[in-house]
Amino acid sequence: MAGPIRPTISDVARAAGVSRTTVSHALNGIGKVDPRTRERVVQAAAELGYRPSLRAQRLRSGQSRTIGLVSSMPVAVAGGPSKLGFFMEVAAAAAETALLHGFALVLVPPLDSDPPLDSLDIDGAIVIEPDQDDPTTKRLQSRGVPIVSIGPQRGTDLPHVDLRAPQVGRLLLDHLREQGADRIALLMGSGHRSWYVDLAEVYAEFSREHGMPPLVVEADESGGEETGQAACEELLAQHPEVDAICASVDAFAIGAVRAAESLGLDIPTDLQVATRYDGVRARTSTPTLTAVDLHLAQAAASAVELLLANLKGTEVPQVVTNPPPRLVPRASTLTG
């Protein structure tokens, strides 16, 4: 049995006694329509139960009313086995904000292969913490897709939300020091993301301040927890005096915990571990990990609003600074 026939724009025009063009202008808020005529059209549309075709609106405006959220980080860092990491926390808040503005959000999750970006019909994109030479960002820009990033892309003037990386790094290092650590090693990703570069600079300054010889170890972020563990085991074998590890990503922090276990070290008595992102890994690790609340929901919302403002051509600041980060101390560093 066929369902009810949907009213058309012609039906509304006939009921209101106006042309189809006048109905379109009245309902879409464009053109010059007498207020009384507009009210009559709106009332007729409501009585008939008419809803404008979103497809037709997209064809007229040339917009898809869709934005993309792209992770430039490998799956081992952005999500991990649970798929519930950094990327999905940003996605949840970004989707809500986009919907409130009448836009849909398309997720381009981290993949082991290049995502098919050329097939996406999007008006703009948000890229999460792009590397300095991020190929995803370059491909989007080559298509003329407006971009906003969460975290700056080094060497560019890309509009972005600032996650206060230097302050985050200092929070972690100062906390480890306050908990009694005096030989802190830095476990870094091997890329050139702004967070990595800023953390390395803060660590170098911190080391000079405290007369502590710097000790930086890099691991391939695409290997996630496994490469983090291997790098940490080698580090501790060569430098048994290390009593704390500041891990640039939570996947590496989990690797550090596993390395300590394999070497028979107690956390936090023998080795303290702290990391940046207070996500699922940090909260469910054994022991739980000291981390930082980055206010990712606020960052995601700000990124969407900044992107939409740029799509409209609105003159807005091209850098939005997120609220100050908050340290979340947990069992992996609380020695007393």
Rounded Cα distance between 328 and 140, Å, is: 36
**pLDDT tens digits for range 180-231:** 999 999 999 988 899 999 999 999 999 999 999 999 999 998 888 999 999 9
Instruction: Of 79, 256, 231, 255, give the one whose Cα is nearest residue 176.
Output: 256
* DSSP annotation of 285: S
Question: What element of type H or E holds 162?
Answer: strand 160-162
The most distant pair of C-alpha atoms in the chain lies apart, rounded to whole Å, by 86
For 82, the token pair is: 């649970």
Rounded Cα distance between 23 and 259, Å, is: 68
Mean pLDDT of 109-120: 66
Task: Give backbone dihedrals phi and psi of 131, rounded to 5 degrees, phi first.
Answer: -70, 160
Task: Give backbone dihedrals phi and psi of 18, rounded to 5 degrees, phi first.
Answer: -135, 180
Q: What is the pLDDT of residue 50?
A: 78
Q: Mean pLDDT in the chain?
A: 88
Q: What is the pLDDT of residue 3?
A: 44
Which sign does the torsion angle of CA 79, 80, 84, 89 carry? negative
SS3 (DSSP) at 161:
strand
Q: What is the pLDDT of residue 84?
A: 59
Q: What is the pLDDT of residue 200?
A: 96
**pLDDT tens digits for range 18-73:** 888 888 778 766 667 888 888 888 888 888 887 765 455 554 544 568 999 988 77
Rounded Cα distance between 119 and 116, Å, is: 6
Per the model's pLDDT, the better-predicted residue between 148 and 336 turns out to be 148
Mean pLDDT of 275-297: 95
Q: How confident is the model at residue 114 (pLDDT cuts 50, 70, 90)?
A: low
Q: How confident is the model at residue 80 (pLDDT cuts 50, 70, 90)?
A: low
Rounded Cα distance between 113 and 244, Å, is: 35
Rounded Cα distance between 271 and 287, Å, is: 12
Classify the phi-psi angles of 193: left when phi > 0, otherwise alpha if psi is within -120 to 50, otherwise beta. Answer: beta
